[in-house]
Amino acid sequence: MGTWSSRGLRGSTLEDMINMTNEHYRQQKLALIQKIPTPITPVEIDQSTRHITLAYFEKQSTVDYIGAVQGIPVCFDAKECAVKTFPIMNIHEHQVKFMEDFEKQGGISFILLFFSSLNETYYIPFKDIKFFYERSLNGGRKSFTYDEIDKNYKINSTSGAVVHYLEGIKRDLQNR
């Protein structure tokens, strides 16, 4: 069973930007996407600030976000990477399975990956995630590199949408 502490805040900048984008999408009636909270059981609480300082994860989470874009079900996870190589171990088996099952039900699954050293965010379609994941299981690389991802899926900002991932969804649908 995993524990939560300060490392649980990794990726919070990306998630804050996605949350702002999701609110903009909701206000513009473009999408309704919700952040899925990870269920935790607090173990230690700082009584002076009422902040949780140690907790256990109750169960494995699936993805960070789920919802609908113009009637299309979507689910995705937000990941950050400080270097140009992303370890596959950061995408867990249960997450891949959930995204695969979601796709089989007619939904769209993907990862938003922020390369913090480059200040660039990419939409990684599920087909690419599955390829990288299966490659790692079959004795290949245990990571994928910046150079391997499709640069056509680079995410740009627009007014109100800091992480404008709707363009990635559009391109993903066109490529299916």
Q: Which residues carry a binding-site annotation for Mg(2+)?
A: 62, 64, 77, 95
Binding residues: 62, 64, 77, 95
Rounded to whole angstroms, how far apart are CA atoms 46 and 26? 35
CB 156 within 8 A of CB 101: no
Rounded to whole angstroms, how far apart are CA atoms 14 and 105? 28
Rounded to whole angstroms, how far apart are CA atoms 54 and 69? 36
CB 115 within 8 A of CB 154: no
Output DSSP code: residue 39: P
User: What is the SS3 assignment for 87?
Assistant: strand
Output DSSP code: residue 43: E
Query: Would you give the distance in Å from CA 125 to the centre of its chain?
Result: 11
Residue 155, strand partner residues? 121
